[in-house]
Structure 1
C-alpha cells in the first residue's frame, strides 16, 4: 500500500486546497496518472500516482485545505476491485453512507464519529487540538480568538479544519446554553447575511488565489506610502513603426510586433536613469537591483498573475514579444511554474486592453514601482500655438513607494518613459 501525499511545492508554499479529485475509491491507476489538482496561492499543481494499483481511500474532500506532506488518500495493490473508502468507519455506519463516494464521506459523517469513540463528549480532539488542526484552521482561530479545545471537528479522524472554525462561530457556545432567555440573542444573527430577505443572491467561496491577491493588495496599501503620478504619450510614432514594420517583423520572427516590447524597453531605459525605482526596502536598507526582471501583469481565469520576463535588458524586441506571449498563454492555461512568478524588479500592467482610460495601479510588493498603460484614444492635441491635430494618445500612470522614491524622481522617470516612447529610435540606444 502507498500513501497519496501532498508534495513539496516551493519554499513559500506550506499548504493548498484540493480543487478536484480525478479518481474515486476503487479506481485502477498507473504510475504517473493524475489523481488530484491542488490549488495554491500561486500556481495549481497536479498530484500523480507514484505506484500502480487501486485507490483504497480518499481521506480529504474537494475544497479541503491540506498541508505539505499530509496523507490525503491511499493506493493499494490490485487491479481495480472496488474497495471501501473508509475501512474503519464502514462497519459502524448504516447502509446509506456506505453508498456514498469516498470523496464525499468527510462531509456526510458529522454525527458518526460521536458514537464509536465517546458518545457523550463530542469535542474529543480537545486533548491535543492545536496539533490536530490544519495550519489554516490554527491561523483562523488565532484571528478570531477561538480556543481550539472548544471546537468540534467534523472530520472522522478528529482533525480540525478551517470549516470547523467558521462553523464554530455560528454555533451557540456552551456557557450561553444554560441561559434561559435565549430569544434576545437571536436578533444578532441577521447581521451575517448581507442580502435582503426574499431577494436572489449567490454566495461563492473565494478561491485560494483570489484570497492571496486580496491579502497582498491590502498589505501593499498598508505597508507602502503609495502615490501615483500621471502623464500622456503621443503614440503616433510607435503606430507608424508598427504599420511599416509589422508584416516584415512577423515574417522574420514568427511573432507579432505589439506595444509591450516598446514599453518594456522604455521602462528599462528609465530604470537605468532612475535606479531607485528598480529597488526594494529590506528593513532599514535599500536594495538597488542592477538587473531588470520585468513583471507583466496578465489577467487569467483564476485572477491576476504577474509572470516575469528575466533579464529583459538583454533581449531584443522579438525575444520580449515571444516571452510575453508564452507567459500569457501559460497563465491562461494555468500552467505557470513558481519560477515564472518569483522575483521581478518592476511591473507593467495594461488596463487598456479592457478599455480603461485612466487608473491608479497598486504596487506589486516588495517592488516600489509599477507602470500602468491605458487605452489609446484619438483626441485633439495642440501642436503649437495655432495648430490642432487629432493624435492617438495614451495616459500612463506610475505608482511608486514614496518611502524611497521622491515625487520629483517619479515624475522625471515617467517623463523619460514618455520621451522614449515618442521617439522609438531612441529605444535602440537607451533601452
Structure 2
C-alpha cells in the first residue's frame, strides 16, 4: 500500500488546503495521473500518482488544511495486484474478445486507452465543478487545447434552460432573496491572510509622485523603429534596481525577533500579476545582473505563465521588492499593501498626456505617469522615501542615465 502524502511543493511550505480530489475510492489510476488539488500560500498545485494502482482510501476531507507529511490518500500499487492479475490475463482477454467481437487478438480495447488529462488551470476546473459541468464536454478555443474560463462561460451560455410558465410562477416575497455565495478559500483566502498580516504588522506610509515619461516614450519609439520592442516595465524595473542599490534600506527585511534590519544583497523583483486564479507574484530573479532586454523577456514569459497557471514554485519565491503595474488597467492612484515581509512596494499608474512646462519655460504636451510608493515606517522615514523616488524619477526622465549605470 502506497501512502500519498502532502510534500513540500515550494520552499518554506509547511501546510496546504485540500481543494478537490480528482479521483474517488475504487478508481484505477496511472502513473503521473493527477490525484488531488492542494492550495498552498502561493498557488494551487496538483499532486500526481507516482505509480499505477487502485485508490483504496481517501483520508482527508476537502476543505481541511494539513501539515506537510500528512497522508491524503492511499493507493494499492500494481506490484501488489500483479500476482493476482497475471493468472487472470488469458481469461480476461478471452472474455473481452467474446464481449467485443470486433476486437481482434493483440488489439487494445477502449478500457486500455491511456489516461487523458484535459488541459485546464485548477481555477478553470473549479468554475466547471461549481456549475456542474463535465470539463471534458467543453470545447477548447485555444489552439493548444487548453480550456479557459471563457470556454466554460460560453458552454454555460449555450446550455438550454426550461422556462417556468407564467401561470405557475409564485409571487416574489420581499426581503427573502437568498444571496449568492462565493467560497472563501483557496488563493483568495491565502491572499486575504497574507494581506491582513501585512497590514496589521507593518505601519504603512504611501508617498505619491509624478514621473515625466516623455523622453522614455521617445526612446521606445526609436528602438521600435530600429526593430527592438521593449516594454515600459523593463525600463522601470532597471531604474528601480539602480535606485534600490542607492537606497538599500528599501531592499530589506525587518527581523523583529533579533532586532535587526537585513539588507538584502540580491535584487529579486516581484511582479504583481492579476490572473484568473487570483493575484500572483512571479519574480524576476537577479534583476541587477540582467540587461533591459533580458528583463523584458523575463517579464513577458513570467506574466504569460502566471495567466496560464503554469508558474513553478521557484518562480514565485524569494522576492526582495515588489512592483505593481496597474496603469494599463486605468488606475490613477492607490495605497497598496506591502508584500510581507518586504519593506516597500511601488505601483505604476496611468500615463496621461497633459500640458507641462519644459526647461525653456514653454508649454508643451508631455507624458506624465503617477506612482505610489508604500514603505514600512518602522524601517525608513518619509524623507528617505522621497529621495528614493526622486532618484528613480531622474533615471526615467533622463533614460540615457540608465546607460551609465549598466554593469
TM-score (normalizing by structure 1): 0.67
Deviations 1:170-228 (A, max 9, x none): xxxxxxxxxxxxxxxxxxxxxxxxxx942352122212322222122222222222211
Residues 1:217 and 1:377: Cα distance change in structure 2 (over 3 Å)? same
For the residues of structure 2 that align with 1:389 and 1:405, how far apart are their CA atoms? 37
Question: Aligned-pair distance for 1:238?
Answer: 1.2
Q: 2:392 aligns with which of 409, 412, 417?
A: 417
Distance 1:240 1:418 in 2: 16
Residue equivalent to 2:14: 14
- Which residue does the alignment assign to 1:320? 295
Contact 1:229 1:410 survives alignment (8 Å): yes
| 1:266 CA drift (Å) | 0.9
| Whole-angstrom distance in 1 between the partners of 2:50 and 2:359 | 72
Q: Distance in 1 between matches of 2:185 and 2:335?
A: 25
Match runs of 1:278-293 below 5 Å: 278-283=251-256, 284-293=259-268
Task: Report the CA distance between 1:424 and its aligned residue.
Answer: 0.9
Kindly indicate whether residue 248 of structure 2 is the aligned counterpart of residue 270 of structure 1.
no
Q: Contact 2:44–2:186 at 8 Å: present in 1 too?
A: no
Q: Does 1:234 align with 2:234?
A: no
RMSD, aligned α-carbons: 2.4
Kept in 1, the 8 Å contact 2:11–2:314? The answer is no
CA-CA distance at 1:73 after TM superposition = 2.2
Q: Contact conserved, 1:43 with 1:337, CA < 8 A, in 2?
A: no
Structure 2 equivalent of residue 218 of structure 1: 196
Which residue of structure 2 lines up, in the alignment, with residue 46 of structure 1? Answer: 46
1:23 aligned partner: 23
Kept after mapping to 1: 8 A contact 2:344/2:375: yes
> Which residue does 2:269 correspond to in 1?
294
1:417 to partner: Cα distance: 0.8
Structure 2 partner of 1:402: 377
Give the structure, 1 or 2, with the largest relative contact order (CA under 8 Å, sep 6 or more). Answer: 2
Partner of 2:405: 430
Verify: 1:355 aligned to 2:333, yes or no.
Answer: no
Going from structure 1 to structure 2, the CA distance change for 1:29 and 1:413 (only over 3 Å counts) comes to: same
Alignment deviations for residues 13-52 of structure 1 (CA, whole Å, 9 cap, x no partner): 2322222322233322222222222121112222111221
Is there any run of 5+ residues in structure 2 with no aligned partner, and where?
Answer: 86-173
User: Which structure 2 residues correspond to residues 47-126 of structure 1 after superposition, within 5 A?
Assistant: 47-76=47-76, 77=78, 78=81
> What is the alpha-carbon distance in structure 1 between the residues aligned to residue 381 and residue 285 of structure 2?
27
Deviations 1:341-385 (A, max 9, x none): 222221111111211011122211221111110111112223368
Q: Which residue of 1 aligns with 2:106?
A: none
> CA–CA distance in 2 between the matches of 1:340 and 1:233?
30
Residue number in structure 1 paired with 2:32: 32
Match of 2:149?
A: none
Offset of residue 427 of structure 1: 0.8
Question: Which blocks of at least 5 consecutive residues in structure 1 are unaligned?
Answer: 82-195, 251-255
Tell me if the contact between 1:53 and 1:75 (Cα under 8 Å) persists in the aligned partners: yes
* Contact 1:2–1:51, Cα closer than 8 Å, also in 2: no
Structure 1 Cα separation of the partners of residues 51 and 281 of structure 2: 36
SS of residue matched to 1:400: strand
Specify the SS of the correspondent of 1:376. Answer: strand
2:19 touches 2:186 (CA, 8 Å); kept in 1?
no
The answer to whether 1:339 aligns with 2:317 is no
- Report the 3-state secondary structure (helix = DSSP H, G, I; strand = E; otherwise coil) of the residue aligned with 2:183: coil
CA deviations over 1:80-108 (Å, ceiling 9, x no partner):
x9xxxxxxxxxxxxxxxxxxxxxxxxxxx
Please say if residues 295 and 347 of structure 1, whose CA atoms lie closer than 8 Å, have aligned partners that are also in contact.
yes
Q: 1:2 to 1:227 in 2, by over 3 A?
A: same
Contact 1:44 1:335 (C-alpha < 8 Å) held by counterparts: no
1:291–1:378 distance in 2 versus 1, CA, 3 Å? same
Q: Secondary structure at the match of 2:210?
A: strand
**Alignment partner, residue 203 of structure 1:** 181
Q: Quote the residue 1:105 is aligned against.
A: none
Is 1:226–1:402's contact at 8 Å kept on the other side of the alignment? Answer: yes
Contact 1:43 1:335 in 2 (8 A): no
- TM score, norm. by length of structure 2: 0.71
Q: Answer yes or no: is the 8 Å Cα contact 2:44–2:187 preserved in 1.
A: no
- Determine the C-alpha separation between the residues in 2 that align with 1:70 and 1:406: 45
Q: How far, CA to CA, are the matches of 1:230 and 1:304 in structure 2? A: 23
